[in-house]
Structure 1
Amino acid sequence: MTIQEMKKGYEQEVTYQKHMLRNLGYWFQLWTIISGIGIVLTYFFYRQNLWLCILGITLFVIGTLGMLVFGYAGWKGQQNIHAIIDDFDKKIEYFQ
């Protein structure tokens, strides 16, 4: 394997990881919207309709948990990208 092939492989991996981080960002946005809908339902139906208030609280909790999960996955993905780049830099220094 030449340095150029290794460089191309690392570039493809970093590109793929960034694409997956964008996908995680979309999922994070979805859970943010779900949480927001829960807040709105809870706010408007607090004393008027018990079931819609319970639905709002449930959506808020589920949305918050989803945001935590996908936020953590995005953070770990960023760490993974930095680790890949550092590993590539170390290998390039070693070979040159």
Structure 2
Amino acid sequence: MMIEEMRKGYEEEVAYQKHMLKNLGYWFQLCTAVSGIGIVSIYFFHAKNLWLNILGIVLFIFGAIGMLLFGYVGWRGQQNIKAIVDDYEKKINYLRKKMRKSPK
């Protein structure tokens, strides 16, 4: 029963991590949209309105920083999921070897 409980726990953890990565993807898309709005604002108002041009620059910078941040966090999250799966496989292999060697 110990292996089944451990398997269930690992499956729940991996599912939770994947859900959080999906949420990070939504934030990345939001930052991409904010950056795009900034680029459009800079393009259309660079010579007409100083304040809208500055707003566009600020939006572009915040969007770009957000994209870098959420992209990096998503990459690290994928690495964490791989580490969790590898750890699970190591523990299962160890327990199976131990069960084969132990006398019944």
Q: TM-score, normalised by structure 2?
A: 0.90
Q: Which residue of 1 aligns with 2:26?
A: 26
Q: How does 1:8-87 map to 2 (within 5 A)?
A: 8-87=8-87
Displacement of 1:85: 0.1
Listed as ranges, the gaps of 5+ residues in structure 2 are 97-104
Displacement of 1:60: 0.1
Percent sequence identity over matched residues? 69
Residue 47 of structure 2 aligns to a residue whose secondary structure is: coil
Amino acid paired to 1:88? Y
How large is the Cα RMSD of the aligned pairs?
A: 0.8
Amino acid paired to 1:25? G
Alpha-carbon separation, structure 2, partners of 1:58 and 1:13: 38
Alpha-carbon separation, structure 2, partners of 1:52 and 1:10: 50
Alpha-carbon separation, structure 1, partners of 2:33 and 2:2: 47
Alpha-carbon separation, structure 1, partners of 2:51 and 2:16: 43
Displacement of 1:9: 0.3
The runs of at least 4 aligned residues of structure 1 exceeding 3 Å deviation read: none
Alpha-carbon separation, structure 2, partners of 1:54 and 1:6: 54
Alpha-carbon separation, structure 2, partners of 1:72 and 1:80: 12
Alpha-carbon separation, structure 1, partners of 2:64 and 2:46: 19
Alpha-carbon separation, structure 1, partners of 2:19 and 2:36: 26
Amino acid paired to 1:80? N
Displacement of 1:35: 0.2
Displacement of 1:42: 0.1
Which one has a bigger Cα radius of gyration?
2
Alpha-carbon separation, structure 2, partners of 1:16 and 1:33: 26
